[in-house]
Structure 1
Amino acid sequence: MAQLFIDLGKLNYNIHYVDNLCDQKGLELIAVVKGCFAYMPIIETFQNAGIKIFGISNPSVVIKNLHYMNHRPMMIAVPSARESDIVTRCFKSSLNSEITTIQALGLASDKNNCYHEIILMVDNGDLREGVMPEDVLNTVRKILKIRSKRLKFCGLGANLGCCSGTLPDKQNLNLLQELALDVEKKLGCEIKTVSMGGSVLLEWMKNNDLPSKINQVRMGEAILLGNIPTVNKKHEDLFSDVFTFIGEILEIKEKPSVPSGRQGLDAFGRVPQFKDRGIRRRAILNFGYSNTEPSGLTSRVKGIEIINSNSDYAIADVTDCKERLSVGDILEFDLNYSAMMRVFLSPYTEYIHISSEHEH
């Protein structure tokens, strides 16, 4: 069975580093744990490090784990109106962009006697969820007219880097600040929270201050993987090996690099592409798509490249590897975000916890 080693000590270091940076900048950190599906030992590590609020996108994850959490989390995916009952019971707040959904949340919050906070999402260029900037004032007016004793409009939010790869700059960061000030001035409504999402912000925050109205950031990948997404860059001050994916060599043989005979589609309906590189040394590994996203793995041993996969196996070209590899050898891999998500969705991978010590 494939294995995932989780170094909770390195995770603890990453949490403290990012949280301390946020403290220095006057920012509340929402720890986004959708990538690990709120895996409880990871949740406990965050909470022991002082993190209060988690960002979670799936209500079913919260239903299963809410009794372990010290506070109700934030729903960081736009909910549907049909989810309003469970969302108001399980989440302290949610990100929203549709007035009909917000109205449903108002009815549900009163019915369930649960206070629920609304953050109106603004599309600031990443073309993900959110109202267009010119529609913010009118949408806030409609939210404020909702008759609910337990629903509260608390602020504005936006995302960067998650969908279209939009990078932070002065223009898209200042936009949210200007909109918040405009709402306060014209509607007399206090904007308690201005929330920005995306680990890509971490690189910006090292050398720049965020606009003064932005007081909350939502980050996950940088803490879990030590990676700055969108620019795909390892952060120099964070551990990028919190997770180690372990695979075993089941077969190793020299074979042609191009199959013989006519080819159709592969097991997933794709058209395979092959480059004739002659006879190559190939290793079959004990994991596939049922365990992770094989293409999102990078071997820690140079000269090993995953070239094909099915549900049960990954096939690696090991011709250029300087080490002498044999059947039964164990290989270590780093994971990207997609590979990490697939691992935590898989029931076929064993999780092993270690706890190295690192000062923060």
Structure 2
Amino acid sequence: MYMPVLEINLRKLEENARTEKALLASSGIEVMAVNKVFDGCVETAQAVFNGGITVIAESRTYNLKKIRETGCTTCLLRSPCLSEIEDVVRYADISLNSEPVVLRALSHEAQRQGKTHQVLLMVDMGDLREGIWFSEYQRILETITLIADLPALELYGLGTNFNCYGTVLPTVKNGEDFLALAARLEADSGIPVRRLSAGNCTSYHLLDKGIWPHGLNHLRIGGLHEFGIEYVDMKYLNEFHHSSKPVDKACSDMYILEAEIIELNSKRPYRLGNWASMPFCKVKPLSIMARADAHCWRLGARMCRRITVCRAMTLSLS
């Protein structure tokens, strides 16, 4: 039976990573490479590592286990579950956190394993992803103090998210608010905050415009080196390998998908007719459940793509 094949040009990926690191370093910004779109592919992680980015992030612990063989520093790009603390400490050097109960569990397990685990303390500046809400200053102060006090934990930095769950764009205003919060925390706690991790590749938009708030010195980036695209204005960046095809297709000549076409039709972008209830999406009375449903939708879509597209992968060094 014929299987679809995704071919990835590792040389171009490595060169994009090298370009990205140099571009951000020229503005005093450290970069953490996100590899999750490749689902823990060791070869892509190795290409990015060879390009000079030494910290690589994944959203699954079993993928962190795989990419450790590259020699990179690993980061779990989400808040850990209590049920996976042992694996988080074993396979992740860094993780994103905000909950005291999880921090205490990480501390206990890190002591048991004889390790020091680094924590990126997350603050929600409005996007509604993980983190303590920015106006709850006392909670943030207590949590950063807890990290400093707990044995076997070390503060990696202060982080936030933009244009992720809530599609809130990074701006000069929310960037400067994040800077002010960090400065106040340092003054009140006496704890140095060495990294201000100000989001993902959409935050590069401010740098591209020349309006980056000075002092934000860290980003967690995947799409920039994977596609060479600035995602807010949706344009290709000349320094990167990318495609000359329409930018709204977000494609790149680093990737070739070979597959049999089984149906080819042009259809309207919306459904026609009366709607039945949708699987995986029941109406919940509580807003907290709506977020869980949204994650189910994304997970379901990701699983479908993996089943139908990513059965095989060819890695090209050309």
- Please give the range of the TM-score, normalised by the shorter of the 2 chains: 0.7 to 0.9
Question: Structure 1: which amino acid aligns with 2:312?
Answer: E
CA contact (8 A) 2:123 2:158 kept: yes
Match of 1:42 in 2: 44
TM-score normalised per structure 2: 0.78
CA contact (8 A) 2:94 2:156 kept: no
Match of 1:355 in 2: 317
- Aligned equivalent of 1:32, options 31, 34, 44: 34
CA contact (8 A) 1:159 1:197 kept: yes
The 1:157–1:102 alpha-carbon spacing in structure 2 relative to 1, beyond 3 Å, is same
Distance 1:196 1:85 in 2: 28
Question: Is residue 247 from structure 1 mapped to residue 248 from structure 2 by the alignment?
Answer: no
Q: Which has the higher helix share?
A: 2
Q: Secondary structure at the match of 1:126?
A: coil
Match of 1:206 in 2: 208
Q: Secondary structure at the match of 2:19?
A: helix
How many equivalent residue pairs?
281
CA contact (8 A) 1:161 1:230 kept: no
Q: After the TM superposition, which residues 302-317 of structure 1 pair with which residues of structure 2 at under 5 Å, given as runs?
A: none
TM-score normalised per structure 1: 0.69
Distance 1:342 1:257 in 2: 20
The 1:16–1:142 alpha-carbon spacing in structure 2 relative to 1, beyond 3 Å, is closer
Instruction: Give per-residue Cα distances to partners, 1:75-129, cap 9 Å, x unaligned.
Output: 1111122222211221111111212111211111111111011121111121111
Q: Secondary structure at the match of 1:159?
A: coil
Question: Structure 1: which amino acid aligns with 2:90?
Answer: R
The 1:348–1:34 alpha-carbon spacing in structure 2 relative to 1, beyond 3 Å, is closer
Match of 2:159 in 1: 157
Question: Structure 1: which amino acid aligns with 2:88?
Answer: V
CA contact (8 A) 1:156 1:176 kept: no
The alpha-carbon deviation at position 343 of structure 1 amounts to 5.2
The alpha-carbon deviation at position 344 of structure 1 amounts to 5.4
The alpha-carbon deviation at position 43 of structure 1 amounts to 1.1
CA contact (8 A) 2:118 2:156 kept: yes
Q: After the TM superposition, which residues 43-122 of structure 1 pair with which residues of structure 2 at under 5 Å, given as runs?
A: 43-66=45-68, 68-122=69-123
Question: Structure 1: which amino acid aligns with 2:314?
Answer: I
Structure 1 or 2, whichever has the larger Rg, is 1
The 1:57–1:251 alpha-carbon spacing in structure 2 relative to 1, beyond 3 Å, is closer
Match of 2:291 in 1: none
CA contact (8 A) 1:200 1:230 kept: yes
Distance 1:102 1:181 in 2: 23
The alpha-carbon deviation at position 193 of structure 1 amounts to 1.5
The 1:148–1:256 alpha-carbon spacing in structure 2 relative to 1, beyond 3 Å, is closer
Identity of aligned residues (%): 25
Distance 1:251 1:82 in 2: 43
Match of 2:225 in 1: 223
Give the unaligned 5+ runs of structure 2. 243-251, 281-299
C-alpha RMSD of matched pairs (Å): 3.1
Question: Structure 1: which amino acid aligns with 2:220?
Answer: R
Question: Structure 2: which amino acid aligns with 1:355?
Answer: L
Q: Which has the higher strand share?
A: 1
CA contact (8 A) 2:205 2:232 kept: no
Give the unaligned 5+ runs of structure 1. 271-337
